[in-house]
């Protein structure tokens, strides 16, 4: 247990202030910087068409999506690490991210994404839910986290094979390039239409995951002790898996495959808490929102010929930070 953990309200308030500051920076900075005065003028309807277009059509939906996607990825990682009692757990452990990516790749491969903007998100979320059914079929009635990890590995491998097959069988190099670009993850050219598609999934998934806080605390005592305390392990697992599938599926549908957020954020948050799973959930959601929005700001302001992809930046940010914290904290696991 951490000896000098700050009060939980202070940690949440600090992270919320950080997320707000990062969101404001995301609105202000980019290829064309806006002053605070010009931003406020555009927000209040002043006659500055360029600033209004930059704010409402480019940066505001992108910032809100960054906050929402980062929040569900951070929250899902914290919940899965608590439930599976595995510090390396994240949404991809259950195959959810790969399955959602496979659905989106199918939409791109068969040209279905051109029919309507909602087709790609629907197929991604639907694939995540199908992976959930397959996960239940493979895991059966077993309550062991190890069984879920092994079943999730099988689902993730199957979905990854499907993605590789789509790339291998692409009818032309342009289709393969479109798929690869999406798989690298990005919030570029996202609009409010994408936000309204993803937000209900993220909100519903987040509520289902936050519901598990007290049950996860009881689970740290062992499965038998948790059941003795009145925790219904089957219902908790159902809420957890459905919440992960819907929330992460909706996020991946609009952002592409973005890794390491769900893995690294709980590790960054944990030293500032009492290390109980429930104390990490909400801070991890806020921290994930701040981290992903900051990474998205980085891809816009780093001078490159082509805009960096968000998944690449999160990987470069996540690996060294994760290794440092792993070396410092491994004795506590």
The DSSP annotation for 152-205 comes to HHHHHHHHHHHHHHHHHT-SSHHHHHHHHHHHT---TT--HHHHHHHHHHHHHH
**pLDDT tens, position by position, 100-127:** 889 988 888 888 878 877 788 788 888 9
pTM of the predicted model as reported, rounded to 2 decimal places: 0.90
**pLDDT tens, position by position, 191-238:** 898 898 889 999 999 999 999 899 999 988 888 888 888 888 888 888
CATH architecture, domain 8-332: Orthogonal Bundle (1.10)
What torsion, rounded to 10 degrees, do the Cα atoms 266, 101, 203, 18 define?
A: 40
Helix (H) or strand (E) holding 329: helix 310-329
pLDDT bin (cut points 50, 70, 90) of residue 331 is low
Domain boundaries defined on the chain:
8-332
Residues 6+ positions from 23 with CB-CB distance below 8 Å: 63, 66, 67, 293
- Max mean pLDDT among 109-113, 237-241, 273-277, 287-291 falls in 287-291
Mapping DSSP to helix (H, G, I), strand (E, B) and coil, where does residue 115 land? coil
> Could you tell me if 222 and 144 are in contact, meaning their C-beta atoms sit under 8 angstroms apart?
no
Mean pLDDT, rounded, of the chain: 86
Question: What integer is the mean pLDDT of 67-94?
Answer: 88
Lowest mean pLDDT among 28-32, 127-131, 139-143: 139-143
pLDDT of the residue at 2: 44
């Amino acid at each position: 247990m951490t000896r000098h953990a700050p009060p939980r309200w202070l940690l949440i308030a600090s992270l919320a202030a950080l997320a707000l500051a990062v969101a404001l920076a995301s609105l202000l900075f980019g290829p064309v910087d806006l002053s605070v005065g010009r931003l406020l003028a555009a927000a209040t309807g002043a006659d500055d068409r360029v600033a209004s277009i930059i704010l409402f059509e480019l940066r505001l939906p992108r910032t809100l999506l960054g906050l929402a996607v980062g929040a569900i990825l951070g929250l899902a990682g914290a919940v899965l690490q608590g439930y599976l009692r595995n510090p390396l757990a994240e949404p991809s452990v259950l195959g959810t991210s790969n399955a959602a990516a496979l659905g989106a790749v199918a939409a791109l491969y068969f040209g279905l994404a051109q029919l309507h903007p909602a087709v790609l998100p629907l197929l991604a979320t639907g694939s995540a839910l199908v992976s959930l059914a397959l996960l239940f079929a493979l895991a059966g009635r077993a309550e062991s986290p190890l069984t879920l990890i092994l079943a999730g590995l099988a689902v993730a491998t199957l979905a990854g094979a499907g993605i590789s097959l789509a790339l291998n069988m692409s009818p032309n190099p342009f289709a393969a390039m479109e798929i690869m670009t999406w798989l690298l993850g990005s919030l570029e050219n996202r609009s409010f239409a994408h936000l309204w598609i993803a937000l209900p999934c993220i909100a519903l998934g987040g509520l289902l995951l936050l519901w598990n806080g007290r049950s996860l605390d009881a689970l740290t005592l062992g499965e038998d002790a948790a059941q003795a305390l009145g925790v219904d392990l089957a219902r908790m697992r159902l809420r957890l898996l459905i919440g992960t599938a819907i929330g992460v599926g909706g996020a991946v549908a609009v952002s592409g495959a973005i890794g390491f957020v769900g893995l690294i954020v709980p590790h960054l948050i944990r030293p500032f808490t009492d290390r109980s799973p429930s104390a990490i959930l909400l801070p991890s959601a806020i921290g994930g929102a701040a981290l992903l929005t900051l990474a998205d700001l980085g891809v816009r302001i780093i001078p490159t010929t082509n805009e960096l992809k968000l998944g690449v930046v999160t990987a470069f940010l996540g690996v060294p930070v994760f290794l440092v914290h792993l070396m410092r904290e491994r004795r506590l696991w």
